[in-house]
Amino acid sequence: MIEGLSHLTFIVRDLDKMEEILTKVLDARKIYDSGDQSFSLSQERFFDISGIWVAIMEGEALSEKTYNHVAFKISPDDYETRLKCVRALGLEIKEGRSRVTGEGRSLYFYDHDKHLFELHTGTRAERLERYAKG
C-alpha cells in the first residue's frame, strides 16, 4: 500500500546553486550535507520544504527542457514576493499556459539544470470545482 510521497530527488551540476534556489525561493531548510562522502551515487544534500523531503545530488544536467515539473502551493499574497526571488536569482521564467478564472495563478521557472518548478496559488479542489462549471 502506498503511504504517501517519500521524497523528490533532483540531479544538478552545482549543489550550491540549487541550494540557493531551494532556500531562497522555496524556503527550504537544509537538513543534511554529505560533504565529501558519498553514500549514494554522488555527493548529496537533503532539504525540508514544508514537510517534503527534497534531495539534490551532483550529476549531469537534463539534456532538454520539458513541461514535466513539480508544483509547490503558495498563498496568493505570496506570489509577487516569490516572483521577485526568482528574478533576483536570474532564473528563466516560463510563460504559463492559458488559465480560466478561478483556477489560481502559477509561476513557472527553470533551475540551472532544466528542471521546471511551479509555484501555484490554487488547490486541486478549486480547480475541479472550476472545471465542473465548464
C-alpha to C-alpha distance for 94 and 75, rounded to whole angstroms: 20
Cell of 54: 527534497
Q: Which of 44, 92, 118, 126 is catalytic?
A: 44
Taking each helix axis from N to C end, the angle separating 15-25 and 79-88, rounded to the nearest 10 degrees, works out to: 160
Contact 7, 53 (CB under 8 A): yes
Contact 47, 64 (CB under 8 A): no
* 44 among known catalytic residues: yes
> What amino acid positions are annotated as catalytic residues?
44
